Amino acid sequence: MAVERKVPAIIDNPMSFCPGCGHGIIIRLICECLEELGQDQNIIFPIGVGCSSNLGGGLVTDRLHCPHGRAGAVATGMKRVNPDNIIITYQGDGDAYNIGIAESINAAYRNENITVITVNNTNFGMTGGQMSVTTMEGQKTSTSTHGRDCSITGFPMRFPELVASQFHIAYAARGTVSSPAHINQLKGYIKNAIEAQMNKEGNSVVEVLSPCPINWNLTPIKAMERIDNELISYFPLGEFKQRSVKEA
């Protein structure tokens, strides 16, 4: 007999994401993890500018819309002033890795005890589908109409691997929402990241490969297939920095 999954209490309204987008799944997983860890009444979200802005309209939580790209800096201030609160940034790749690369890098460099969730849909989703640092080689966007030329713009950035290899952070992983198995795997990554913060282990980073059917000019099903067939080979799934302190 199937067991009905209860909607987490802090989700109180539908959020206006595009049909087939992965944000709703990701937010649901974050809220489930917070509730299961007893932190759903102890959370503050510094929210990025972009598709992630829709997060604020659907949750009964403390949250702050940050200047574009500045969530890493805002989260740092929040955590230092309120060390007992759980602080989770929620950003897109354009916000976190283009506009906010300095803030994201420096939060990891300092090993700030925050959790960073970045949704990678390989473009600036809300503002018209412009090229971002995660746009794939040859991918057409509104600012790379003939396809991204990596000989000019550089190759797509793999942020979790970068900070995991260079900085003394607590945890880094990448997941996706392209199948039920991947969703279950992603939930484990998100829970690990939150637990790392709860245990004061340091900076935790989870990137999520997410479909963007509107800007990719694909159906929702084809967008999910693109993740499996194209993106995962360049942006591999898994844990790049495992926690050194495990839950007892």
Tens of pLDDT, residue by residue, the chain (248 residues): 666 778 898 998 888 888 899 999 999 999 999 999 999 999 999 998 888 888 777 899 999 999 999 999 999 999 999 999 999 999 999 999 999 999 999 999 999 999 999 999 999 988 889 999 999 999 999 999 999 999 999 999 999 999 999 999 999 999 999 999 999 999 999 999 999 999 999 999 999 999 999 999 999 999 999 999 999 999 999 999 999 865 44
Q: What share of the chain is helix, strand, coil (3-state, %, to 5)?
A: 40, 20, 40
**Residue 138 tokens, joined:** 């040859």
Residue with tokens 């963007």: 212
Q: What pLDDT shows up at residue 248? A: 42
Buried b (16+ CB within 10 A) or exposed e, 140-150: bbeebeeebee
Query: What does each C-alpha distance from 103 to 100, 107, 166 come to in angstroms?
Result: 5, 6, 16
Residue 205 near residue 173, CB atoms below 8 Å: yes
Residue 241 near residue 169, CB atoms below 8 Å: yes
Query: What does each C-alpha distance from 109 to 70, 139, 147 come to in angstroms?
Result: 15, 31, 33
Cα–Cα nearest to 142, from 156, 154, 133, 131: 131
Distance CA 29, CA 66 (A): 22
Q: What pLDDT shows up at residue 72? A: 96
The pTM assigned to this predicted structure is: 0.95
Which residues have a Cβ under 8 Å from the Cβ of 193 and sit 6 or more positions away?
A: 115, 117, 171, 173, 204, 205, 206
Distance CA 177, CA 144 (A): 26
Q: What pLDDT shows up at residue 24? A: 92
Residue 10 near residue 28, CB atoms below 8 Å: no
Residue 223 near residue 213, CB atoms below 8 Å: yes
Distance CA 52, CA 29 (A): 15
Q: What pLDDT shows up at residue 223? A: 97
Residue 85 near residue 78, CB atoms below 8 Å: yes
DSSP state of 57: G
Q: What pLDDT shows up at residue 118? A: 97
